[in-house]
Amino acid sequence: MTDQASLPLHPTARAQHVLSLLAAEIGDKISTNLSVCEAHSHGEALEIANMPVGVVFAESTQDVSATLALCHHHRVPVVAFGAGTSVEGHVTPPDGAISLDLSRMTEVMAVNSSDLDCRVQAGVTRQALNAFLRDTGLFFPVDPGGEATLGGMCATRASGTAAVRYGTIKENVLGLTVVMANGEVIQTGGRVRKSSTGYDLTSLFIGSEGTLGIITEIQLRLHGQPEQLSAAVCQFENLEDAVNTAVEIIQMGIPIARVELLDDVQMQACIRYSNLDNYQPLTTLFFEFAGSPEAVKEQITVTEALARDNNGLAFTWADTADERATLWKARHNAYWAVKALHPGQRLISTDCIVPISQLTTLITGVKDDILASGLYAAILGHVGDGNFHTLIVTEETEAGRQQALALDRKIVARALALGGSSSGEHGVGLGKLEFLAAEHGEGALSVMRALKATLDPRNILNPGKLLPVGPVFKG
C-alpha cells in the first residue's frame, strides 16, 4: 500500500487513487459514470445532494472488505448505499467520497424453516425475501414501505406498518456480518433467540446508519403466515376521535396486525392518486387483523365497538388479497400521492414518536401548528405504536425550506416535551442532527462519539451523519 506521506492531498484525488487500486482487485464493479454518480448523490425526501467520486458495486462481503481496507488506509470517506429510499440524507456523500452500493448482494443464503429463521445478503429487499418464502408458510413482517433493502433497514432501524404486532427490524434480527472501518469482518449474534454472553453488538450496529461498520449479511427471524387476514377501513369526521380509537385499541391489548392513520388532507391526496373512489376525504384508520378465524372475529368485534364509541362511521371491509393489496399500496404511496398534487414544489417528510398515551395530544397539537403555519401538510402514521409522519409541502426556495423546517422544529419540540423522540423510524442522517442534544443530552452523545472514534478512528464511515460534532467521552 502507499505510504501515508505520499497520499494525494486533495480528497477527490485520494478517492480516484483508491478506485484505481480497487479496479485491480474487484474488476469492473466500479463506475464513475455521471448518471450513476448522480443517482447515488442523494436519497428521497431530504433533497440534499452531493456527487460521489465513484460508485463501487459490491457483490460479496469480500468486495466490501477490500473497499474499506483501501479507503481506511488512504483516508477516503465511504457511504453505504442500498435502495436509496432513506429520507433524512443518510446516503448523501461528503466531498471526496466513494458510494458503496450493496444492491447487487441479493442472495438468500439459507432458510431454516424448522427454526423460523433465514440468512440473507444486505441487498435483498423485503419484497424479494417474501416472494422467495411464499411456498414455505413463513414470511418476514417488517414493512416500512418502498423497495427498501434489508441491509438499509438494519442500518436505519426500520419499522413500518406491521411493527405494532411484530416489532421493528431490531426485534427481528438475530445476528449480522459486519465489515469494520479497516476492512476486518466480524460476526455478531447467531441463530439462537436469546443469549446472555458478551456485549450486544448486533443491537449496536442496528440503527448505526453505516457510521460504525457496514452490514453485509443478516440473520433474520421469520414468522408463520396467519391463518386468516382481514382488512377494514373506518372514517371519522374528527381527527381526535380517530386517534383516540387507535390508542384505546392498544391500551386494551387487542393484538391488531396494523392500524394506520391518514388525516383528511392525506386521504384527499390518496383518493385522487390511488383511485380510492369509495371513500370520502375524511380522517381514516386502516386496520388489519390476523390470526385464527375465532381470534380475528373477536378482534373485529371489539375494534368496531371502540370505533363506534368514538363516533366512527361504518366499517368498509377488504377481505380478498387484491382488496387488501389495494389498500396497503395506497398507504405506502402516500408520499407520492402528496407529491403528485404539488409538482415542482418541495416535499419534506418528517416523523416523531411519543408514548401511546400522549399521541392524541401530540397529533391534535401538530394539526393546530400546521393550520397556523399556512402550509399544506398531511399527517399519517403507524399510530398503533405512537409514531406518525408529517409531509410538508413548500415552495422550492430557501425561504420555503426554512418555513418547512420551522414547522418541523415545532413538531419535534412537541414530541420531546411529551417524553417522545425526534424520530421513530426515519433515523437521524443529516435531517435530525440538530435535535440529538435535546433528546439524549451531551453526556450520552459524548459516549456515542467515543464508540465512533474507537471503531472508526479515521472517520471514513458515513462521516457527518447521526452524531453532531462535540466532545468525546474520555473516562
Mean per-residue pLDDT for 37-44? 94
**Cβ count within 10 A of residue 258:** 25
User: CB burial class (10 A; 0-12, 13-18, 19+) of residue 439?
Assistant: middle
Residue pair 155/215 in contact by the 8 Å Cβ criterion? yes
- Cell numbers standing for residue 356: 401511546
Distance separating alpha carbons of residues 141 and 159, to the nearest angstrom: 10
- The answer to whether the predicted template modeling score (pTM) of the entire model surpasses 0.85 is yes
**Residue intervals in the chain for CATH 3.30.465.10:** 108-224
| pLDDT tens track for 132-160 | 999 999 999 999 887 899 999 999 999 98
- Please check whether residue 348 is in contact with residue 404, taking contact to mean a CB–CB distance below 8 angstroms: yes
Residue 311 gets the label, from left (phi > 0), alpha (psi -120 to 50) or beta, of left
Q: Is residue 67 scored above 80 in pLDDT?
A: yes
Assigned CATH topology for domain 228-335: Alpha-Beta Plaits (3.30.70)
Residues of the chain with CATH 3.30.70.2190: 228-335
- What is the rounded distance in angstroms from the CA atom of residue 166 to the CA atom of residue 188? 22
How is domain 108-224 classified at the architecture level of CATH?
2-Layer Sandwich (3.30)
Q: Which residues contact 451 (CB under 8 A, 6 or more apart)?
A: 204, 212
What are the pLDDT digits (tens) for 422-471?
A: 999 899 999 999 999 999 999 999 999 999 999 999 999 999 999 999 99
User: In whole angstroms, what is the distance from residue 56 CA to residue 14 CA?
Assistant: 15
CATH (residue range 4-101): 3.30.43.10
Please say whether the beta carbons of 198 and 87 come within 8 A. Answer: no
In the chain, ranges of CATH 3.30.43.10 domains: 4-101
State the pLDDT at residue 77: 98
Say what the alpha-carbon torsion angle 404, 410, 412, 416 is, to the nearest 10 degrees. Answer: 170
CA 255, distance to chain mean position in Å, is 23
